[in-house]
Amino acid sequence: MRCWKSRPSGDRLTGPRPHHFTARKDRATRVPETATPLTSRRAAPRFRPQRLLGLLPAFLLLTGCIADPSPEPNLTANSSPAATGSPGAPSTSAPLETTQSSNKAPVYWIGRSNSNVFLYREFRDVPAQENPVTRALRAMMSEKPLDPDFFTPWQNPEKLASSISGKNVITVDVSEDAFNSNLDADMAGRAIQQLVFTATAAAASSGLIDSGQQIQVRILVDSHTDYVAFNHVQLGAPMSRSNGMVAPVWIIDPQEGTDLAGGSVKISGRSTVPGGKLRWQILRAEANGDKSPYLTGETTAAAEAAQPGLFTLALSLSAGSYELRVSQVDAAGSGQELNVDSRNFKVR
């Protein structure tokens, strides 16, 4: 059984960490603001439901295959009001995904940024034999994130199905073994929102729902309602995305571990502060494995309603291994880098 716990804000992670979760989002390295190569400095290193409820009318319904969950080391994570969208959390959220032609599934993971924990998205290759919502959720519950800074508390379920009603309500029916992790209330709220974000993203990106209307997710456990997920979150009622749950800074491309062609490398991402300033930095890996500052600069997130918070960069990079870091600039002028997101990639 996995054990994920929260501590009061400001505490550090303690205890053994899973190898796929390395908390580095808050370790920013500042260099002089220039766009020319730099070489002189290095970066710092059971409750059982009693009532039956039939599934909503559905367009799609597919079940899953059996898989045994594997236990992982304990992890602690501090709490945040963003888990339930309560006062004090950021008021904005990432826009709903748009329809795309790619077969990749949008999957949300949990990751640390500074002293907080947010949701981050990756696009994953998934088998095509299940409907888009089911296969995205199966990836979320059974696979590991590409980025080692991310993790998931979900277990691979024996049964998993999804359906969509004509009122933009996604119903997810999952077996109880998916909840076989010991979470505190804060992390349990994040895990449920991880499912809500992934299900709505998969439905929107595949064109199965009307993105112009409110979209909700209803979670059933073994086809029953009123289940208490992770012993903390009451299920059964339709739920929406919680504002403030997604990461304040979020690199979309390149994804972790991507191999890119040389020349102009395109970088894109999103900030939850439209029109806000962002600082970016490229570190280059040297032969001994150390990383040194290579390029740095600033950009501004888009303020337009059509693409709020979007930022793009085009950088000329030669062959090598790189780390990209993007952070929000402290409006108070302290120079502190806030909410750092990072990606490792290679240029051929």
Quick one: 321 and 270 in the same domain? yes
Quick one: 206 and 266 in the same domain? no
Quick one: 181 and 127 in the same domain? yes
In the prediction, which pLDDT does 113 show? 79
Quick one: 116 and 208 in the same domain? yes
End position of a domain, from candidates 221, 239, 257? 239
Residue type for 283, please?
Answer: L
Per-residue pLDDT of the chain (348 residues; tens, 9 = 90+): 544 444 333 333 333 333 333 334 433 333 333 333 333 333 333 434 333 333 333 333 333 332 333 333 233 333 333 333 332 333 345 677 877 756 789 999 999 877 789 999 999 988 777 899 999 999 999 999 999 999 999 999 999 999 999 889 999 999 999 999 999 999 999 999 999 999 999 999 988 987 777 899 999 999 999 999 999 999 999 999 998 899 999 899 999 999 999 888 999 999 989 999 999 999 999 988 899 999 999 999 999 988 889 999 999 999 999 999 999 988 777 767 789 999 999 999
d(CA 105, CA 123): 5
In the prediction, which pLDDT does 315 show? 94
Whether 87 maps to a domain, the answer reads no
Whether 221 maps to a domain, the answer reads yes
Structural domains in the chain (count): 2
Whether 52 maps to a domain, the answer reads no
Residue 296, domain CATH: 2.60.40.650
Quick one: 217 and 258 in the same domain? no
End position of a domain, from candidates 217, 239, 261? 239
In the prediction, which pLDDT does 254 show? 94
- pTM of the prediction? 0.72
Residue 324 lies in domain: 249-347
33, 278 in Cβ contact below 8 A? no
Whether 31 maps to a domain, the answer reads no
Quick one: 110 and 233 in the same domain? yes
Quick one: 301 and 329 in the same domain? yes
In the prediction, which pLDDT does 114 show? 74
End position of a domain, from candidates 205, 239, 273? 239
Quick one: 228 and 290 in the same domain? no
In the prediction, which pLDDT does 1 show? 52
In the prediction, which pLDDT does 268 show? 94
Tokens representing 128 are 């095509």
Whether 190 maps to a domain, the answer reads yes
Q: Is the dihedral of CA 82, 83, 86, 92 positive or negative?
A: positive
Alpha carbon of 320 to those of 231, 259, 277, 295: distances in Å? 47, 10, 28, 14
329, 298 in Cβ contact below 8 A? yes
